[in-house]
Structures are given as structure tokens and as C-alpha cells.
A and B are shown apart, each in its own frame.
Chain A
Amino acid sequence: MSDLSADRVSVAFAGLSALSEVDLKVTSGQIVGLIGPNGAGKTTLVNVLTGFQPATEGTVRLDGQPLSGLKPHEVRRRGIARTFQGGRLFRDLPVIDNLEVTGVGLGLSRAAAIAEAEAMLDWVGIAPLADRIAGTLPYTDERRVAIGRALMRKPAFVLLDEPAAGMSAQEAQDLSALIRRIASEMGCGVLLIEHNVGLVLDLCHHVVVLDSGVVIETGGPAAIRASERVRHAYMGTAADTNLPVLEVME
């Protein structure tokens, strides 16, 4: 059992507060959702957790050990992987190479990296696309490549930044089945940042809601669904809307 936590993490850009004393914890096999309106600081928090952005205050810990000062690739070597909004694949490279270079970068021999990349493509369900140039794929497949790349060498934690953005309901369903398997079959702790609130409430064991850099609510999906504060943050008013409407709006 592993756990990844943010302890009273604050980030300020030129004096403006992007995150303020945020606490968050993910453990192995758990799917934690991170939601909040645009500009709430979700991606900033992921950047802090993965070493892309130093925290102004507070600490990120992996199994109690602080990760402060580590570079992104050092964080990745310790088993914390992430995806990026929009995929950020090596678009000129074949799909298999996208995964292979990750395996090689993480210390595998080439042969071992190729073998693991092939197994991983199969696992995320896109084995037939191995030799396609990554930039030519439809975005649903691109997301799977990005997830497969993040899962190379079986990280203990994977942070998914808006994996379902722009997907239809059916496509999002297929994706959530995959995310579930990442937690249950692979035993990864998953932090899911997503605008599709319905998807998050459906998938996650625990949800953290950010607004303007502050955690305004945490709890199980039922508690989040019932929260007046969450509704308020999303709608800007306490109008008598309910969350299914939010899904449509997203």
C-alpha cells in the first residue's frame, strides 16, 4: 500500500494565490476525483504533485517521504506518472515508439521496453494501432496512447488531466471502464481531473472540489452531489439546478 499526499500546499504566482493550503491524499487502488470550475487550480495542483511546479508552501509526500525539490523525471522514476491536457504525445513518432521511449527513459533495455510497450498497448486496447503515427489518430485513441505511456513500468500513482475532454457519452463510458481497471487490476492510485462531473461522481471513491485555489468540499460522490457549496461554485448562484444539468453544461 502506497499513498501520495499534498499537505497544506500553497502556490502563489507573483503574489496571486493559485492554490491555498490544499490537502489531498490518494492511496493505492483508489480513484480520487479532482473537480472544480475553470481556473480553480486543478492543473496547478497536478503540476505540484509531479514536480513541474514547486509549492510556495506545504509539502508533497510519497509514503510519508517529502518529494520537495525533485525534478519531473525524478518524480516519475519514483512511480508518479501523469498525462497532460490534450495528450502531448510525440505526434511524429509511431504509437509504439511513444511508449518505448518512456520505457527506455525509465531504465529498461530496448528489447524489454518494446515488449512492455506491446503488452501495454494491448492492455489499454489499442494493440492494432502500434505502428500508426501518433499524430494521425482520432483523439479517443490518442488519449489511450497517453494513458498507456503514463502506465509504462507500472507507476504507483497516475494523475489523469482531463482524459475525457471532448468525448461523447459513449466514449467517456469506455474510458471510465479503462480507468476503473487501472485502479482495480493494476492497483494504481488514480487522481482524476475532469470537467465531466457525472463521470467523476460515477467513478471515484473520493472527490475533492477546488474553487479559486481553495478546497471547498471533500467526500464521497453522494456528499458531493448533495453539496450546496459545490453547486454554488459551479453555477455562481444557488439556483435550484441539480447536478445532472451540470453534466449537460460541461
Chain B
Amino acid sequence: MGSLLQVIFDALSLGSLYALGALGIALIFGVMRLVNFAHGDVIAASVFALLWPSVDAVAIIFAGNLPWFLLIPFVLAIGAGLSVASEAVVFRRFRRTNPATMMIASFALGFVIRYFLLMLFSSRPKSISLLPSLSQPVEILGARIPLLQIITIAVTMVVLFGLTAFLRRTRFGLEMRAAAENFTMARMLGVRANRVIMGAFALSGALAAAIALILGSQTGTANIMMGANVMLMAFIATVIGGMGSLAGAVLAGFLLGAIATVMQVILPPDARAFRDAFVYGAVILVLIFRPQGLLSARGTRERV
């Protein structure tokens, strides 16, 4: 019983990370048809914003010593700000180009961010102690669940419900839903296109920062590559979910988390090192049977 509960929590917390990442990618894809591969590097940059630039192995804490109620908004603002800046500086110029061009631009931007971090911090992972009180385990029905896992899942739920309410209930959300489905039409009807796109980038960046906080606390290290794995899984989740469908992205994020966790348990010990191969194999199967994604968004098929 205890170990089953542990597996469930593992799956949900891993799935939460993927779902938050997928949501960040799907939000931008929705309004711009841009697959933003720089998303993973925004995650890394949000963590490094807590450190003072140095190439030493020991991290020199900068903002990392702030109390949590200042630290969390600070990191979220860094993520949102960096994301909005990348739109204003880079992606705005590519708005009328085709999706492949935008994707290449996002790869390039990702490398710029990554190498900028490399220059300031070197490629050595740095040990940081981010919100250390969260690593204590909590005992639930005989299973010892890290507090951080519970918080990760809870935060993700709050984000999902909050975002849903935001999209459903606010004027900005209404404009964003319309723009995500048919940008040209929304613009023609007077929807404020620039604000909607900026808003999507800000939200997406804040989601990246939330992942950064979770990963940083979980692993206790800051690493310039730390966003790469989540980014890849999140991208796959948006594809499986049906590009442009926010609900699909979240669903697929949790599905991938569950598959990865279950594989870790059921695969024979010798095969566990190859877990990701099995996960990607499952991805191929999903795409063979549902090439349009689990929940396909109409907006991606019909454009003015």
C-alpha cells in the first residue's frame, strides 16, 4: 500500500512538471504557432537569477537568500520578464514567417541564453540550497512522501485551476482563447494582438520559473542544462496532447509522467537504465494511433 502510494505521488509530481512545461509551450503555440525551444533555457536562467555570476563550483548566493515570499515572486518575475523580452526582441520580428523559421529562431535564442549562462557561471553544476525545508518527508498511510512532491502537485493543481478560471472569466482570457483559435480573425475583430501575445509569453515564462523553483529545490543544484529534459518531455506532451490544446497538453504531461514512473517500477532492473527508450516507444505508439493528438485543437487546422 505504502509503495503504491509512493508510485502514485512520484507519477503525479513528475507529471506535474511535464504538465506545467507543456502548458508553457502550448500557450505560446496557441497564439503564435511558435514551438518555443528556448523554454527550457528560460527554466535554467530563472534558477541562475538567484546566484551571483561566478565560475567557481561553489555558488555565491545573490537573491537566493530572500525569504520564500519574496523569492518565489522574484523568480516568477524573472521567468516572465525574460520570456516577454524574448518576444519583444526576437519573436516579434518573426511573426509573419512560417512556423519552421520561428522554431529555428527559438533554437537559436535558447543557445544564446544557454551560452550566456555558461559564460557567467561555467558549465559545472552548482550546489544550491533552495527552500531546503521542503525536502523533509511526510508520512502518509505508511509511505514517506517528500513534502516537496506534495507541494509540487498542489501548486500544479492551483496553477491549472487558476489558469482555467483566468481564461474563462477574464476579458484577457477571452481574448486569448479567441486568438489561440484563430489569430487573424481575432485581430480582425479588434482583439489587442500585441497584448495577448505578451500576456501568453509572460504566463509561459512564469510557468517556466515555477518549474525552475521545483527542479532547483528537488535536485539542490543549478545546472545550465537543467531545463533541457523537461523541455523535451513537455514538447512531446504538447504534440501528444494535440498542438494548441491546453487541456490536451496537461493531460499528456501527466500521462508521460505516469508512463515514466510506471516503467521505472515494472521494468526489470537491468532494463531500467533504458527507461526513456521505453517511454519514447510509448510516445510513438500514441502518435501512430492518434496522429492528431489526444485532444486536437481546431485552430491548428483552420486558419483565415
Contacts and interface: CB of A to CB of B under 8 A. Distances in A.
Contact of A97 (B177, B185, B188, B304): B177
A85 to B, nearest CB: 11
Contacts of A92: 177, 181, 297-299
Interface string A81-100: 00010001011110001101
Contacts of A84: 304
Contact of B188 (A73, A91, A107, A110): A73
B190 A107 contact: yes
A106 interface: yes
A101 B175 contact: yes
Contacts of A132: none
B189 A102 contact: yes
Contacts of A105: 175, 186, 189-192
Contacts of B188: 72-73, 76
- In this complex, the member of B174, B177, B182 whose beta carbon has the largest number of chain A beta carbons within 10 angstroms is B174
Given A93-B178, A101-B175, A135-B298, A88 B185 contact: yes
Interface string B185-220: 111111110000000000000000000000000000
B302 interface: yes
B96 interface: no
Q: What is the interface of chain A mostly: helix, strand, loop, or mixed? A: helix
A137 B155 CA distance: 37
A246 interface: no
A95 to B, nearest CB: 13
Contacts of A107: 190
A104 interface: yes
A232 interface: no
B39 to A, nearest CB: 24
A110 B173 CA distance: 11
B84 to A, nearest CB: 22
B186 A101 contact: yes
Interface string A177-204: 0000000000000000000000000000
A101 B298 contact: no
A205 interface: no
B120 to A, nearest CB: 43
A175 B182 CA distance: 26
B187 A73 contact: yes
Interface in A25-72: 72
A98 B178 CA distance: 8
Contacts of A76: 188-190
B93 interface: no
B298 A91 contact: yes
Contacts of A88: 182, 185, 302, 304
Contacts of A100: 174
Contact of B174 (A73, A104, A106, A149): A104
Most-contacted residue by chain B among A72, A76, A84, A90 (CB, 10 A): A90
Nearest to B303: A88
A240 to B, nearest CB: 43
A105 B174 CA distance: 10
B189 A101 contact: yes
A93 B177 CA distance: 8
Interface in B262-304: 297-299, 302, 304
A248 B188 CA distance: 36
* A-B pairs, 5 with minimum CB distance: A105-B190, A105-B189, A72-B188, A101-B178, A105-B191
Interface of B: 171, 174-175, 177-178, 181-182, 185-192, 297-299, 302, 304
Given A90-B186, A97-B177, A105-B186, 20 more contacts: A73-B187, A76-B190, A77-B190, A88-B302, A90-B181, A90-B182, A90-B185, A92-B298, A93-B177, A93-B178, A101-B174, A101-B178, A101-B186, A102-B189, A104-B190, A105-B175, A106-B190, A107-B190, A110-B171, A149-B189
7 contacts: A72-B187, A76-B189, A84-B304, A91-B181, A92-B297, A93-B177, A101-B191
